[in-house]
Amino acid sequence: MIKTHEFNTEWWGEKVGIVTDVKFFDLGRTEQESLLSGYVWAEFHAQLGPELPMGKMHSAGFFYVSTQIPFRVPLNRLASGSSLESLTVVSADEKPFRVELDEMAPFMLERFSFLPGIEAKKLNERYVLMANNLIHESPSLCFKVFDGSSPQGWFLSRKEGGTLNLALAMLHRDAHFSGQQIYHKALLEYASRGERAGGASFDIRNTAVHNIYSSLGARFLQPRGIWLWLSSVLSEA
């Protein structure tokens, strides 16, 4: 019903959990507290719908932090554009690279900003860790986008059961091309390498990303909610 979230634990530096079964909220309070006691904070993810036991979730100490919008985008139907002509794409298997903390633009819309005491640097550290894990796992699907010799950003993906997961896109801190152009160029590159469709999800507050994928012909799927629970040590910090 609950397990350690290995990636968030590595990032946070203390044990972080994730509830894996909504039946957790049917347990008695004492049992819930026992299962949560080993964690400094925990998450729960679920598709939004009337069947969710919102009252029980609230009673268990979980509070709502994010609506995630899943989508799929048809890569093989994308049209190119003249504004993309100066951009080039290099994959990590062609020319190895890493993402460094001081290279990336900050993430402004992030559910983990609700964690007490969190700072922008700590949030960016999570994405640097995620980015370099993706590069290690799937170098041929991880791209760095350039204008000449000037880096503009990264688009990092992996395969999940034959589907291309468009896991992470980031702007370089000195980018002069827009997110729209970098996303578009990277997706065209995936299409040129034989990928037909991709998908991921984004926070509903991120209107810019919503508009980018809308313009690229994405189809949006049933939204998912994310809730957080904080231990007393963290909530009182």
Predicted confidence (pLDDT) at residue 161 exceeds the cutoff of 90: no
The amino acid that residue 12 corresponds to is W
Q: What is the pLDDT of residue 235?
A: 72
User: What are the residues facing 160 on neighbouring strands?
Assistant: 163
Q: How far is CA 5 from the centre of its chain?
A: 15
Asked if the model's pLDDT at residue 103 lies above 80, the reply is yes
pLDDT of residue 80: 87
C-beta of residue 159 within 8 angstroms of C-beta of residue 168: no
Task: Return the biggest CA–CA distance within the chain.
Answer: 62
pLDDT band at 233 (very low <50, low <70, confident <90, very high): confident
Looking at residue 236, what is its pLDDT?
67
pLDDT (mean) for 172-184: 95
pLDDT bin (cut points 50, 70, 90) of residue 102 is very high
Rounded CA-CA distance 230/16 in Å is 10
Q: What is the pLDDT of residues 20-55, one digit of tens each?
A: 999 999 999 999 999 999 999 999 999 999 999 999
What average pLDDT does this structure show over 180-195? Answer: 95
DSSP state at residue 172:
B
**Of how many residues is the chain composed?**
237
- Mean pLDDT value across the chain: 94
- The band of 109, judged by pLDDT with boundaries at 50, 70 and 90, is confident
Residue in the block written with tokens 């507290």: 33
Percent of residues, the chain, with pLDDT higher than 90 = 86
Neighbouring C-beta atoms of residue 191, cutoff 10 Å = 18
pLDDT at 237: 59
Name all domains of the chain by residue range, CATH numbers in brackets: 2-67+223-235 (no CATH), 71-220 (3.40.630.30)
**C-beta of residue 202 within 8 angstroms of C-beta of residue 216:** no
Contacts (Cβ under 8 Å, ≥6 apart) of 201:
68, 69, 70, 71, 224
Averaged over 135-162, what is the pLDDT? 96
Partners of 3 in beta bridges: 18
Mean pLDDT of 54-71: 97
Q: How confident is the model at residue 110 (pLDDT cuts 50, 70, 90)?
A: confident
Q: What is the pLDDT of residue 108?
A: 73
Q: What is the pLDDT of residues 8-19, one digit of tens each?
A: 999 999 999 999
Instruction: Tell which residue, 211, 194, 221, 201, has the closest CA to residue 75.
Output: 194
